[in-house]
Structure 1
Amino acid sequence: MRATAIGLLTFFSMFLAVTGAQSAERWAELPAFPPMPVPKTSGMADVNDIRMYYAEYGEGEPMLFIHGGLGNAEVWGHQIAEFAKDHLVIVVDSRGHGRSTRSRQPFGYDLMTSDYAALLDHLKISKVTLVGWSDGGIIGIDMAMKYPEKLTRVIAQAANVTTDGVKPDVLRNKTFKDYITVAGEQYRKLSPTPHEYKAFFDQISVMWATQPNWTAADLGKITVPVTLAIGDHDEAVKLDHTEMMAKQIPGAKLVILKEASHFAMLQDPDGYDAMIREAMAGR
């Protein structure tokens, strides 16, 4: 009887250790993109030299969510479900991503920022809270410098402002490689040019290798409230780079997302949504 009890205790301890390790390592996994709610409206907008997909959900103060490089609007399913309760939520596929088309122009952050500014004009939306992830966060910071009148605030997760803010081994990281694979599958499903993912990836990679390159003086001119978030296990962006950004952008707030990586909106949607709510409340 005593041996059985000891055996059960040992098994239970091992079970707790294993499950504890699994929960502690959610940052090492890439969860599936969540199901997308049905939009109130959606369409293709003629913007600059492309056609840009957008979808709108809910009603209230406008929020614009911008996805990261290679991805598409469907990464934001959890956030749409939360914020469409009390806001007008707009999600978009960036130039060449998802359902949006691309042109012969080389990819660049200034160009994509101008796409989003033109889209807001097309939708007749004067001002938004911009939530950007990775490349979307970079676009948000770019918009804060170039189109501050269109922004209530910027919440940028896993953004960098110089190329040396990116970890040199990111493309060898398993979770990030999984994301590249998933992004390719979604590209083939959604894109008007479904067989051109490699060419698209190569073009985006050129942008990543050369942009952005903003200075402390550039960042010091930002007048829009900015929250900078980064996962404590981010595979792509250096923590000290994000800390530097928070010092150089006037009044910026830095938030470290616990047990989360570059893909925090999928790994911890409740915590991610709470971070956005707090930023919007000015906390």
Structure 2
Amino acid sequence: MRFFALVSLGLAITTPTLGAEKWEALPPTPAPIATDRGGEIAANGIKIHYAIYGQGSPVVFLHGGLANTDYWGNQVPAVAAHHTVILIDSRGHGRSTRDNRPYGYDLMADDVVAVLDALKIPKADIVGWSDGAILGIDLALRHKDRVGKVFAFAANTVTSGVKEGVEKNPTFAAYIERAGHEYEAHSATPKEYNAFVDQISKMWAEQPNWTDEQLKSIVTPILVVDGDHDEAIKREHTEYIAATIPHAGLLILPNVSHFAFLQDPALFNFTVLHFLDGQ
């Protein structure tokens, strides 16, 4: 296991002087970034919303549970300056539809592969947050020939890696409420947010549940990342993931939480690009 110290990355660490700590804030969801390279792909039985920016080697960004592609708005300009950025709304999230199949990480990872197939992309790097990071690990386990590197931010590999009562944390509760309004604004089924949450909560109660042996079988380069104030993921679990996946790196970002990409996008973007473009 490699541990990436922030000092060695040359990052300047600052803390706010007034008001709430940075890790307690939930900055606004970025506005959608216009592109003429996007739309809906009919794949794996559903319609999957996607958007593409930039040029270069492909990087797929996968958002967290209840969210949508807009959450990556602070990352797109920085990463698209070096790579082709592909944003995907997970099934039932954002502008994507879903079918009657129960939510599952394997199914959602297969959706990502279906999008890559439709776009004729043989292999891509993955940047994932929360559920999106779990999907990145799932792809490394089941579709290793389709992924290059995986930047896994705020993942868990067993259900016990999640803190009890996270939904009662003020920042996380504000996110859940915000996600409901965004669901109503974007979804083809705008009045079904509570049912959507119930359905995806069934997945969270049972998945993921990967064994040590499964994690040890991963050969994909993975950087396991989290914020030092993550409301949802136990620190010891993040360290366990990095220690168990062969050759994985571990990076703990300072003064941020489960929403680091909103709270400190410059720090988050630097670490993404350092990992993707480093040797």
TM-score band w.r.t. shorter chain? over 0.9
2:278 corresponding residue in structure 1: 282
Q: Which runs of 4+ in 1 moved over 3 A?
A: none
1:267 corresponding residue in structure 2: 263
1:44 corresponding residue in structure 2: 40
> Following the alignment from structure 1 to structure 2, what is the Cα–Cα distance between the partners of residues 40 and 195?
29
Match for 2:245: what amino acid?
I
> Following the alignment from structure 1 to structure 2, what is the Cα–Cα distance between the partners of residues 32 and 179?
10
> Following the alignment from structure 1 to structure 2, what is the Cα–Cα distance between the partners of residues 138 and 57?
24
Relative to the length of structure 1, the TM-score reads: 0.91
1:22 corresponding residue in structure 2: 19
Q: CA shift at 1:37, angstroms? A: 2.0
Match for 2:168: what amino acid?
R
1:178 corresponding residue in structure 2: 174
Q: How many residues align?
A: 265
Which one has more relative contact order, counting CA pairs under 8 Å at least 6 apart?
Answer: 2
> Following the alignment from structure 2 to structure 1, what is the Cα–Cα distance between the partners of residues 66 and 245?
27
Assess, with a 3 A threshold, how the Cα gap between structure 1 residues 224 and 73 changes in structure 2: closer, same or farther.
same
Relative to the length of structure 2, the TM-score reads: 0.93
Q: CA shift at 1:21, angstroms? A: 4.8
2:141 corresponding residue in structure 1: 145
CA distances 1:189-217 after superposition (whole Å, capped 9, x unpaired):
00000000000001111111110000110
Structure (1/2) with the larger helix percentage = 1
1:115 corresponding residue in structure 2: 111
1:193 corresponding residue in structure 2: 189
1:59 corresponding residue in structure 2: 55
> Following the alignment from structure 2 to structure 1, what is the Cα–Cα distance between the partners of residues 276 and 92?
30
CA-based RMSD of the aligned residues comes to 1.3
1:164 and 2:153 equivalent? Answer: no
Gaps of 5+ in 1: 1-17
2:222 corresponding residue in structure 1: 226
> Following the alignment from structure 2 to structure 1, what is the Cα–Cα distance between the partners of residues 184 and 220?
37
1:132 corresponding residue in structure 2: 128
Q: Highest Rg: 1 or 2?
A: 1
- Secondary structure in 1 aligned to 2:73? helix
> Following the alignment from structure 1 to structure 2, what is the Cα–Cα distance between the partners of residues 248 and 258?
23
Match for 1:98: what amino acid?
G
Gaps of 5+ in 2: 1-14
The percentage of counterpart residues that share the same residue type is: 48
Alignment partner of 1:243 out of 226, 232, 239: 239
Q: CA shift at 1:35, angstroms? A: 2.2
